[in-house]
Amino acid sequence: MLANLKERMQVPLLLLPAMSVVFVLFMGGLIMGFMQSLGYMPIIGKTDITFDAYINIFTDEDFLRSLLLTAWIGFAATIFSTILAVIFALVLRQNLRGKRITTFIFQLNVAVPHIVGAIGVIFLFSQSGLISRLTQAIGLTSVQSEFPALVHDKYAIGIILEYLWKMTFFTGVILLAVLQSIGDDYEDAARSLGANAWQRFRFVIMPLIMPGILRASILVFAFAFGAFEIPFLLGQRYPRALPVLSFEYYHNVDLGFRREAMATSMIIAALITILILVYMKLTETYVRSD
């Protein structure tokens, strides 16, 4: 019994030093941010605990608009990238000519930083970008300003396009690995029983890859909801995504806005945590029922 306990504790003990550093840094920053959101900032002489920052935020129209915009970005990026990822994964699992090099190129995108994608979106889809110039050259538009605003626009299309470019391949790699691990046996059995292509996809493939879809969606949504750099570069001035709004609060010359900045960050962390827990519960329920 002692030997079994020692064997079970071996891996946790090996991970303990690294996890301790991560836990201390993460929890230390989280606790410090939460205390500052309550107004506890002794460095500037404020030690009174108050929930005024949260009250101000939830009664502020700017915050509510930013919350809706951020939710739209997160859900749109997750849903559309998942649909495209499923399509690409299904195509790449086929025995096509040049499959190996195509799969290799498909996976290369995962290592490319988001900032590169943001620059690409600006060069391609802005009103002075390449596509706008091409439409003007072939006569579809007479001036570049007639090209629809896809960057710094109120619908956050530029932000969503960048996330689609990045997250489609990220989710696709995960789903492709799941499909390759499943093999063709289940689909061949369904085919032999007379199932057509749609029936095989709906009743065989989708239930098998759904746990992978849900788990990948957790990561995609959490990143799209909480990321700063892409909304900062590609978003409009008003309303701003929540991470950008928190950044602006934090860098306000009035240190009183530091509370609102930290409160906004705490709300972002809380919403992501709640949604991840819901996703995990759905995944657990789906796998158990399956």
Cα of 11 vs its chain's centroid, Å: 30
User: For residues 17 and 161, what is the distance between their CA atoms, to the nearest angstrom?
Assistant: 40
The owner of tokens 């994608």 is 117
Domain residue limits, the chain: 45-289
Give exposure, 103-139, as e/b (b: 16+ Cβ within 10 Å).
Answer: beebeebeeeebeebbebbbebbbbebeebeebbeee
User: For residues 68 and 263, what is the distance between their CA atoms, to the nearest angstrom?
Assistant: 17
Q: Residue 164 — pLDDT band, cuts 50, 70, 90?
A: very high
Q: pLDDT per residue over 51-93, tens digit each?
A: 888 888 888 888 889 999 999 999 999 999 999 999 988 888 8
The owner of tokens 């009174």 is 48
With CA atoms as reference, report the closest residue to 231 among 74, 46, 101. Answer: 74
Q: Residue 287 — pLDDT band, cuts 50, 70, 90?
A: low
Does the domain made of 45-289 have the CATH classification 1.20.1420.20?
Answer: no
Q: pLDDT per residue over 101-131, tens digit each?
A: 877 777 778 788 888 889 999 999 888 888 8
Contact by Cβ (8 Å): 85, 171: yes
Q: What average pLDDT does the segment 212-220 reach?
A: 86
Cα of 129 vs its chain's centroid, Å: 26
This prediction has a pTM of: 0.83
Residue 120 tokens read as 């690409």
Residue 221 tokens read as 């949504």
What pLDDT does 80 receive? 94
Helices 157-182 and 114-125 meet at what angle, rounded to 10?
A: 130
DSSP string for residues in 96-159? -TTHHHHHHHHHHGGGS-HHHHHHHHHHHHSTTSHHHHHHHHTTS-SSGGGS---SS-TT-HHH
Q: What average pLDDT does the segment 153-172 reach?
A: 91
Q: pLDDT per residue over 11-60, tens digit each?
A: 677 777 777 777 777 777 778 878 888 877 777 677 778 888 888 888 88
Q: pLDDT per residue over 184-203, tens digit each?
A: 788 888 888 888 888 888 88
